[in-house]
Structure 1
């Protein structure tokens, strides 16, 4: 990769994350740490306000923003293809949000790129049987995860039993064409998983829950440990 392209890519990376480590950049661009240090100095000399914390990484000073990013044809093609795949998922809110994002991408493309993308749009096809009961709540759930906002849901379980739950959403995952939300259930006072296609209604509450240390890796490690414990005792 030419240095100019690498410097531009580093700027995009800095704007996309709060902190970026030099080792992460070195691995991404397959260069030495010394090269990354020189690149950072070059950006600083060019007037880009880059801050650094020893042992932590680099960051852009608040208030600085990049000019609109231009996409390469391969990047635009990848985004278009991803939109086709997303169409096959079972949550309409995700489909709508992604297509709004794609429209913004197309808006900054050159006319020749737009024409090529229109052609590709007609030549790329994905198929997946649509869910019998698609959901439309994923976007709200994702926002609640980052805002630490309690949600009240009307939920029907696999036995067709309906209940109302107040939950603290912590994460989501996609499996078997279904989105699952992992949450702390205030009714059960424990972690529970809820299929979004079984959420009949959802209300965002004013209540904010306390941020807690949560990772999907830790969660599944606990589940695996519980599974092993239950099997060993049976």
Structure 2
């Protein structure tokens, strides 16, 4: 990779994360730490306000913004292909949000790139299995996970039983064409899993819950031990 391209990529990386370690950049671009140090100095000399903390890493000073990101044809093609895959999932909110993102990507492309992308769109196909139920709540759930916001849901269990409960959303995963939300249920006072396509109504409350240390890997490792599974545990939604 040429140095100019690497410097641009480093800027994008700095904008995408709060703190970036020099070792992480060196591994990504397959260069030495000394080269990364020189690159950082070059960016600083060019007027980019980069801060550094010993033992932590580099960061962009608050208030600094980069010019609009330009995409290569291969990057745009990858995003378009991903959008085709996204459309096969059963949550309409995710489809809508991703399409808006793709529209923004297309808006910054050159005319020749847009023409090529249109050709590719017509020649990439993904099979969409028809599902009995669809959901529309994934975007709200994802936002609630990062905002630590309590949600109120009206939910139908597999038995057909209806319930209303307050939950603290912690994570989501996709399996068998269905999105599953992991949450701490205040009704049951324990972790529970909820199929998003069984959520009849979802309300964002004004209440915030205290951030919890939660790891999907640890969660499923514990479930595997409880259920004596040697592989990924079966679904445990309600």
The alignment status of 1:175 with 2:175, answered yes or no, reads: yes
The structural deviation recorded for 1:226 is 2.0
Structure 2 distance, partners of 1:130, 1:58, is: 47
- What is the TM-score normalised by the length of structure 2? 0.94
Map of 1:128 onto structure 2: 128
SS of equivalent residue, structure 1 residue 123: coil
Q: Using the alignment, how far apart are the partners of 1:190 and 1:4 within structure 2?
A: 52
TM-score (norm. length: structure 1): 0.96
SS in 1 for 2:122: helix
Q: CA deviation at 1:225?
A: 2.5
TM superposition shift of 1:128: 2.4
Q: Give 1:164's aligned residue.
A: 164
More helix by share: 1
1:220 positional shift: 1.4
Q: Which residue of 1 aligns with 2:119?
A: 119
Q: Tell me, which stretches of 5 or more residues in structure 2 are unaligned? A: 230-238
SS of the residue corresponding to residue 48 of structure 1 reads: coil
The superposition leaves residues 115-142 of structure 1 with CA deviations (integer Å, 9 ceiling, x where unpaired) of 1111111000100212110100000000
| 2:85 is aligned with 1:77 | no
Deviations 1:62-112 (A, max 9, x none): 000100011000000000000000000000000000000000000000111
2:210 matched to which residue of 1? Answer: 210
| Structure 1 partner of 2:224 | 224
Distance across 1 between alignment mates of 2:105 and 2:69: 9
Q: Using the alignment, how far apart are the partners of 2:34 and 2:140 within structure 1? A: 43
> In 1, distance between residues paired with 2:212 and 2:53?
25
Aligned residues: 229
